[in-house]
């Protein structure tokens, strides 16, 4: 075979092989694209079916409703040991929800070294939020973590109460004496002189004698107060005293106790209890089971007129602060507190005996109250 014929045959075979390869590739690619398009169509069909089923399923959960937002922020600035710190509280309720209790409170007991000084109830603001304040004092340097603050609310009228809670609060207290500014090298232990057993026994006996004498003196003073009250009201011996007379007698006993003990907490608490017992016994108001705001709101119309309502609000509110917040009022004096309580009782007694007394206003009762006080 000639060289040219061999080359021509080889070229012809190569051309046919290349054409066969191109044909096979075109066939395979055509099948792959058809498969891809078929799979894509099936996926789109399944996605549309799932979307329609989800849209038609009534059990699909709805978007979560908005929850109340309660935020508490302490006043900025340098805080030293014993400084009052005001915690400003802002509550935002969704539409339709309402407060169940406007008085904020700590959800847990306060840690050691923290004292609650004042609580202001939540009041509405212009933007629709409710705001109030809590005032605390911190007596330990460093970072103190306060428990969360809680406020009660209702999702609607008649709904069960729920609670909105803030996160824990952290307040940093700066020590009055900077660290490293002093030394303890000059502080020595106190030398305690030895005491004999005979001297210790003498001190114990003297202390017991003083305590016994104080108890006897208090009992004697209380008995004298009751005797003076009985002597000044001879008609009461023939009939049981009414609620007003019993309340006045209790105030006289409280005055004698103050002279003997000088206990400001029990003085305020017992005076407020006299007013509450009088309302329960004379007017049927469940004052012993209610807080001060609830009691003032439950007063009948003839008893809920100034100035008696304002005076009762101030006295009962001060008693709550002394009892629950360890508040030590500088004024008024205990004698003035008892005088205010007697005036409130006189007004309530006059208003209860006259149905139209609550409509005459302050001028109609001023002379009557002064006449009662002068008679005593």
The model's pLDDT over 258-304, given as tens digits with 9 standing for 90+, comes to: 777 777 888 888 888 998 898 888 888 888 888 888 888 888 888 88
> Would you say residue 155 has pLDDT above 50?
yes
Distances (CA, A) of 74 to 69, 125, 159: 17, 19, 32
Q: What is the DSSP letter of 53?
A: H
Angstrom distance (rounded) from CA 154 to CA 102:
12
Residues 6 or more apart whose Cβ sits within 8 Å of residue 157 = 98
Q: What percent of the chain has pLDDT over 70?
A: 66
**Confidence tier at 116 by pLDDT (50, 70, 90):** very high
Phi, psi of 177, rounded to the nearest 5 degrees: -100, 115
Task: Give the whole-angstrom CA distance, residue 230 versus residue 210.
Answer: 30
Of 16-30, 161-175, 223-237, 325-339, the range with the highest mean pLDDT is 161-175
What span, in angstroms and rounded, lies between the C-alpha atoms of 51 and 25? 39
Q: Is the pLDDT of residue 181 over 70?
A: no
Backbone torsions φ then ψ of 102, nearest 5 degrees: -85, 0
Q: Indicate the DSSP class of residue 74.
A: E
Q: Which of 278, 284, 281, 283 is nearest to 315 (CA)?
A: 278
pTM passes above 0.75: no
Q: Is the pLDDT of residue 234 over 90?
A: no
Say how many residues make up the chain: 376
């Amino acid at each position: 075979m000639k060289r040219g014929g061999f080359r021509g045959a080889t070229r012809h075979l190569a051309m046919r092989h290349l054409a066969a390869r191109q044909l096979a590739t075109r066939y395979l690619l055509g099948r792959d694209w058809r498969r891809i398009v078929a799979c894509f169509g099936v996926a789109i069909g399944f996605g549309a079916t799932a979307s329609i089923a989800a849209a038609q399923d009534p059990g699909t959960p709805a978007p979560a409703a908005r929850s109340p937002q309660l935020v508490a922020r302490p006043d900025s600035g340098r805080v030293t040991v014993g400084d009052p710190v005001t915690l400003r509280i802002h509550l935002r309720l969704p539409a339709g929800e309402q407060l169940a209790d406007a008085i904020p409170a700590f959800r847990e007991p306060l840690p050691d070294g923290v004292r609650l000084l004042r609580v202001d109830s939540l009041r509405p603001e212009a933007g629709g939020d409710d705001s109030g304040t809590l005032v605390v004092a911190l007596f330990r340097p460093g970072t103190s973590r306060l428990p969360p603050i809680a406020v009660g609310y209702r999702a609607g009228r008649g709904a069960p109460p729920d609670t909105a809670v803030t996160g824990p609060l952290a307040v940093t207290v700066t020590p009055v004496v900077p660290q490293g500014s002093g030394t303890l090298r000059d502080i020595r232990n106190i030398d305690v002189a030895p005491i004999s057993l005979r001297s210790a026994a003498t001190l114990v006996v003297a202390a017991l004698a003083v305590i016994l004498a104080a108890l006897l003196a208090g009992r004697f003073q209380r008995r004298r107060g009751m005797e003076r009250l009985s002597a000044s009201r001879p008609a009461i011996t023939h009939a049981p005293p009414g609620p007003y007379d019993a309340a006045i007698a209790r105030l006289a006993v409280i005055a004698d106790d103050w002279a003997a003990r000088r206990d400001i907490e029990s003085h305020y608490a017992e005076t407020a209890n006299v007013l509450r017992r009088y309302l329960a016994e004379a007017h049927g108001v469940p004052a012993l089971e209610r807080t001060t705001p609830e009691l003032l709101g439950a007063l009948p119309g003839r008893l809920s007129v100034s100035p008696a309502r304002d005076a009762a609000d101030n006295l009962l509110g001060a008693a709550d602060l002394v009892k629950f917040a360890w508040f030590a009022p500088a004024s008024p004096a205990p004698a003035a507190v008892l005088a205010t309580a007697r005036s409130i009782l006189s007004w309530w007694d006059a208003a209860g005996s006259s149905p139209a007394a609550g409509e005459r206003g302050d001028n109609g009762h001023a002379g009557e109250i002064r006449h009662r006080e002068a008679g005593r």
